[in-house]
Structure 1
Amino acid sequence: MSLGDDQNGSGGYAGTGQTRTRYPEGGADVYGGARRPGRSSSRSLVTVVGVIVLLIAAIAFANRGGDDSAASAEGAGGQPKATTTAPSGTEPVRSTPGAIPTGYARDAQGAQSAAANYAVALGSADMFNKAKRDATLQIVIAPSRVATFQSALDQAYTAAFNKNVGLNDDGSTPAGYTFVSRTNPIGTKVTASSANSATVEVWCSGLLGMAGEKSTNPVTNSWFTITMKLEWAADDWKIVTQSQKEGPAPVPGDDTASSADEMAKAVDEYGGFTYAR
């Protein structure tokens, strides 16, 4: 906001089109005018003290401990309590740039963090490359289930499927185009948990398509919920089973679609996040 802006949005008062400037009381000299009465200082002191008291109260409230169980995270009517986002003091995840985050806490919060980050990995463009897909599965899937997932996904990511989204038969991106496949978690919910297992729902928004001037598969947005059953294996949370359903989806906005160049540039310049409760 500039110095001339005001509440009526016209830079003036009450439709006059003029901007009023208030000068100090006691004279026209804006630098050497008389001071205001001394009680102004006492009012300022009371205001400062009041702000400090509120700040201390807010900090104390934010640092109240909370139960990690799914039940304690919900208040009346199933609504999250204020303590849901309070700091737990537990290191949420070990992360290396460019790698899938691993090393989650063995509790409900750790399971939610794992599910959110695994949803990102399984929805990435790497899944369209056989070698990268197999490497991803080795990290996020329970050892006893890796072979099953590999077989199922090899049957899903066929040459016909790749061609359907605009890729070459082998899953590579045609020259002059940028392939976009991103999953963005919006929130997570634990529906069942124990010391060695957890079922987590991850509400997501996704981007999929080909950015390019002559693309016949433009990047589109979708909404879906992924349900993951996790187990504690190899000192970390790993996926045992996974399913997906559509929605919940909001009413589409009236945003103007970006050009192919803008979308390709955004994908190249904006990296993803590591998610942690």
Structure 2
Amino acid sequence: MSLGDGASGGGGEEEYGGVGQTRTRLPDRGNDVYGGARRGRSSSRSLVTVVGVVVLLIAAIAFANRGGGSPSSADGNNRPDSTSTAASGTRPVQSKQAGIPSGFAHDQQGAESAAANYAVALGSDGMFKTDSRHGIVDTVYTPVAASKLQGPMDQAYSISFLSKLGLDASGNAPAGNTFVSRTIPVGTKVTRYDASDAKIAVWYMGLIGMSGKGSTDPVSSTWKTWAFELQWSHNDWKIVSDSQTDGPAPIPGDDKAADSDEISKAIEEYGGFTYAR
């Protein structure tokens, strides 16, 4: 499948391969390396630049791995209630693999925690450097899914693409500038769960852009929902497939936008989180 396959004029979702998997269809942007992922005011303003290729590639992985049949429908008993965002008292995992939390509990909360942490890893600036990207993909996906993703992902994060974002061939920002790419989960929702597999949706806000004097692509925010098909594999939750949809996005507030120095300082001083649920 080419990176631009399936992207045509209108937006929306369509069933792929007759197996009940969906992929997001976004407006056509000609030679866009992500096959038409909408980027707002510039080609890299949306977090889709980070993970848009995964949306197209995972459909093929799902087709190859899951075979016939359609996924189970959402279980009405899993509707979120007032406890969905309440602290559970359960401590986050203590181990890491390639810098990513690992060893999640073999239960529903463990699946939610895995999905939130994997969204953070896949939305990070580490995806723009070859070695760290390989480590992330090998860590969060099942071995079969990871092996099929690595090559196409390397092609997507090409020198030409990195250059469009203001990065050099190694994924580094120019001196005096800070490249920002972060995913901040707001909440998780269980669509399906059993001991062997689960489907978890992560609602998140994303940040992406270049912070620095003279930057033509300042850091901006976006809101999306990331759905993960997880499988219990090698004593941990791993991603089999994933897809994204826009929103829901709240009405923008009246906060004054920070200047580039403030954003760069905040990125340097404030680290990320390990998410328990």
**Shorter-chain TM-score above 0.5:** yes
Q: Deviations over 1:246-275 (max 9, x none)?
A: 111111111111111110000000011110
Query: For 1:177 and 1:243, how far apart are their aligned partners in 2?
Result: 31
Between the aligned partners of 2:153 and 2:225, the Cα distance in structure 1 is: 19
Q: How does 1:101-180 map to 2 (within 5 A)?
A: 101-180=101-180
Q: Distance in 2 between matches of 1:143 and 1:165?
A: 30
Relative to 1, partners in 2 of residues 1:245 and 1:152: Cα closer, same or farther, differing over 3 Å?
Answer: farther
Instruction: Provide the C-alpha distance between the structure 2 equivalents of 1:198 and 1:106, rounded to a whole number of angstroms.
Output: 11
Indicate yes or no: 2:269 matched with 1:269: yes
Partner of 2:18: none
Distance 2:120 2:85 in 1: 22
* CA displacement 1:167-215 (0-9 Å, x = unmatched): 1233221111111000000000111111110011100101001110111
Aligned residues: 203
Structure 2 stretches lacking a partner, 5+ long: 1-74
Alpha-carbon deviation of 1:233? 0.6
* Residue in 2 that maps onto 1:207: 207
Counterpart residue number, 2:42: none
Post-superposition offset of 1:96: 5.1
Deviation digits for residues 144-182 of structure 1, max 9, x if unmatched?
211112123112212222122221233221111111000
8 Å CA contact 1:181, 1:208 repeated in 2:
yes
Q: How does 1:15-54 map to 2 (within 5 A)?
A: none
User: Deviation at 1:85?
Assistant: 2.8
TM-score (norm 1): 0.68
Maintained 8 Å contact 1:203/1:224: yes
For the structure 1 residues 73 and 190, does the alpha-carbon distance in structure 2 shift closer, same or farther, using more than 3 Å as the test?
closer
Are 2:182 and 2:207, in contact at CA under 8 Å, matched by a contact in 1? yes
| Matched-pair contact (CA < 8 Å) for 1:73–1:84 | no
Deviations along 1:2-40, whole A, 9 cap, x unmatched?
A: xxxxxxxxxxxxxxxxxxxxxxxxxxxxxxxxxxxxxxx
- Going from structure 1 to structure 2, the CA distance change for 1:169 and 1:84 (only over 3 Å counts) comes to closer
Q: Mark the CA change 1:258 to 1:95 in structure 2 (over 3 Å): closer, same or farther.
A: farther
Q: Distance in 2 between matches of 1:230 and 1:97?
A: 17
Contact persistence 2:184–2:206 (CA under 8 A): yes
Post-superposition offset of 1:91: 4.7
Contact (CA 8 Å) 1:208, 1:219: kept in 2 or not? yes
Moved more, 168-177 or 197-206: 168-177
What is aligned with 1:223? 223
Q: 1:201 to 1:246 in 2, by over 3 A?
A: same
Partner of 1:32: none
Rg larger in structure: 1
Pick which of 149-158 and 211-220 moved more.
Answer: 149-158
- Output the CA distance in 1 between the equivalents of 2:108 and 2:217: 39
CA contact 1:73–1:83 (8 Å) conserved in 2: no
- Relative to its length, the structure with more strand (as a share) is 2
**Residues 98 and 136, structure 2, Cα contact 8 Å, conserved in 1:** no
Q: 1:95 Cα deviation (Å)?
A: 4.1
Q: Which has the higher contact order (CA 8 A, sep 6+)?
A: 2
Shift of 1:84: 6.5
| 2:145 and 2:240 in contact (8 A); partners too | yes
Q: RMSD between aligned alpha carbons?
A: 2.1
Residues 166 and 80 (structure 1 numbering): CA distance in 2 closer, same or farther, change over 3 Å? same
TM-score by length of 2: 0.68
Q: How big is each residue's C-alpha offset from its partner over 1:29-78, in whole Å with a ceiling of 9 and x where there is no partner?
A: xxxxxxxxxxxxxxxxxxxxxxxxxxxxxxxxxxxxxxxxx76664xxxx
Offset at residue 81 of structure 1 (A): 3.7
Contact 1:95 1:274 in 2 (8 A): no
Change (3 A) 1:96 1:145: closer
Change (3 A) 1:145 1:264: same
